[in-house]
Amino acid sequence: MDHDVTTTPVTQVTTAMDAFRTELTRRRVDAGLSKKALARRMSFDPSYVSHIESGRHRPTEDFARRADDVLGLGGRLWSLWREYDRARQGAAAGAAVPIAAADASSDLVIEREEAAMHFDGRNYVMTIRRHLNNVGAKPVTLYWIRIVSDDRSEAPLSWDMIDLRASCNNEPMDWRVASDQPFAKHVWLQFRHGDYEFPLYPGERTWIEYSYTVPEGIWGHWFQRAIRLPTRYLSIRLTFPAHLEPRVWGTETSMTADGAPLAVNPQVTPTPDGDVEWFWEVPQPQLNARYRLHWQFQNGPGAGLRAGRAVDRGERSDRGERSDRLDHSGRAGTRRSSAVSRRRPAVLQ
């Protein structure tokens, strides 16, 4: 005989939480990481992963995103956290919410993303352009971005170093800090500049652009784009001085493929300025996929280093670098340059 079973909100929260904790533990063990090692790579307190896996602490959105990124799960852990958060909100409202895979759709659609990285021999300058379409029912006033460096780097990221700038249709955008860790900066771009506000209303489209700088000694030898919102088109353009004799190749990670070679090789073209440019594009990239271009210099900085090679180093402090500048106005002007002699491979953006 079949029975209809009603699941209470509290039971749903517990079930979703257990699913998240189980997946986190399994994936961490598969990656060969201790709890403290995973916490270090995520820039969390060494005991925090243990608290999450044991159920003593509840996972936060920031924790779920970073754990998913560090373990290279392509959105799997993030999806489980969304199920947990949905059940938790339903429990708070006193209503049972079915536990099912979270809807991957979003109020924002990226109709086009153009990502570019230029290396001048000392600094990497990243410029990301996105054409956004608000397909939801409410105005959009914030846009979340992240900048993450290699956790093995001797020097942490700083706000002065990265010199973040953002604009919307050439109008400077203010921004505020969402999370400030030594090797990870999470930022809310604001659809405003001072007193002037320009929300993206339902049915409207707009271009946003943001750029930042990371010295060669802190950046690594790969550049990655993660598809977190529905995206119609993605292109990646890398530019290096030709005398460094760079070699470039790419990999793709998704829910069904782990580090597979790109279906199409990046196209290489020399430029009149003495640089060499690699260009790669994909229409309709898969949601939660990660596309990564690697490079190796045969002459110059890090010559012969394989992208992503582990580097032995002493234990570093896990204390986050805090910024007292929580809100920042849009800025424009000429970028400064700085040289850093230390070298570390492999950085995730």
Per-residue pLDDT reduced to its tens digit, 53-75: 877 788 888 899 899 889 888 88
Cα(263)–Cα(54) distance, rounded to whole angstroms?
41
Q: Is the pLDDT of residue 102 over 50?
A: no
Question: pLDDT at position 91, please?
Answer: 64
In this structure, what are the phi and psi dihedrals at residue 243, rounded to the nearest 5 degrees? -70, -15
Above 80 in pLDDT, residue 154? no
Q: What is the mean pLDDT of residues 313-342?
A: 40
- Cβ atoms of residues 225 and 291 within 8 Å: yes
Q: What is the 3-state secondary structure (H, E, C) of the chain?
A: CCCCCCCCHHHHHHHHHHHHHHHHHHHHHHCCCCHHHHHHHCCCCCCHHHHHHHCCCCCCHHHHHHHHHHHCCCCHHHHHHHHHHHHHHHHHHCCCCCCCCCCCCCCEEEEEEEEEEEECCCEEEEEEEEEEEECCCCCECEEEEEEECCCCCCCCCCHHHHCCEEEECCEECCEEEEEEECCEEEEEEECEECCEECCECCCCEEEEEEEEEEECCCCCCEEEEECCCCECEEEEEEEEEHHHCEEEEEEEECCCCCCEECCCCCEEEECCCCEEEEEEEEECCCCCCEEEEEEEECCCCCCCCCCCCCCCCCCCCCCCCCCCCCEECCCCCCCCCCCCCCCCCCCCC
Which of the two residues, 270 and 11, has the higher pLDDT score? Answer: 270
Q: Which tokens belong to 32?
A: 């060969």
Q: Express each pLDDT in 181-209 by its tens digit.
A: 787 888 999 999 999 999 999 999 999 99
**Residue of 231 and 303 predicted with greater confidence:** 231
pLDDT computed for residue 150 by the predictor:
64
Percent of the chain's residues with pLDDT above 70: 75
Q: Quick one: pLDDT band at residue 228, thresholds 50, 70, 90?
A: confident
The tens digit of pLDDT for each residue in 103-118 reads 333 588 999 999 999 9
Decide if 244 contacts 299 (C-beta within 8 A): yes
Residue 345 has a pLDDT of 32
pLDDT(136) > 60: yes
pLDDT, tens digit, for every residue of 4-55? Answer: 333 334 456 777 777 888 888 888 888 888 888 898 888 888 788 888 887 7
For the stretch 287-305, pLDDT in tens is 778 899 999 999 876 665 5
- The CATH homologous superfamily for domain 108-309 is tricorn interacting facor f3 domain (2.60.40.1730)
> Lowest-confidence range among 128-137, 228-237, 282-291, 331-340?
331-340
Rounded Cα distance between 348 and 224, Å, is 6
Residue 142 predicted with pLDDT over 60? yes
In the predicted structure, residue 170 carries a pLDDT above the cut 50: yes
CATH class of 9-93: mainly alpha
The answer to whether residue 134 scores a pLDDT higher than 70 is yes
- Write down the mean pLDDT value for the chain: 78
Domain range list for the chain:
9-93, 108-309
Q: Please name the residue that has the structure tokens 């999470």.
A: 186
